Amino acid sequence: MTQKTELAQYVKSMRKQYGLTQVDLSEKSGVGLRFVRELERGKPTLRMDKVNCVLNLFGTELGVIQTNRETVS
């Protein structure tokens, strides 16, 4: 079983806040129901373009953030 990620929790929370079912979310975002279920379960490998299709409904998108890790030299 996959561990719920911050992204998974966010999507599920926003979906419920807007009163949407998983079916509603998949239809409105143009992704499959299976994808929505995998996203909300925290599947570690997902297509970023599809994730952004879902996030765009909530006025958000994936982006690059800087970490404190060393960079490649």
Domains of the chain, residue spans: 6-56
pTM summary value? 0.84
Model confidence at 1, pLDDT cuts 50, 70, 90, reads: very low
For domain 6-56, which CATH number applies: 3.40.50.300, 3.90.1150.10, 3.20.20.140, 1.10.260.40? 1.10.260.40
pLDDT in tens, 37-62: 999 999 999 999 999 999 999 999 99
Q: Which residues contact 55 (CB under 8 A, 6 or more apart)?
A: 11, 61, 62
Which structure tokens are listed for 45?
Answer: 């490998």
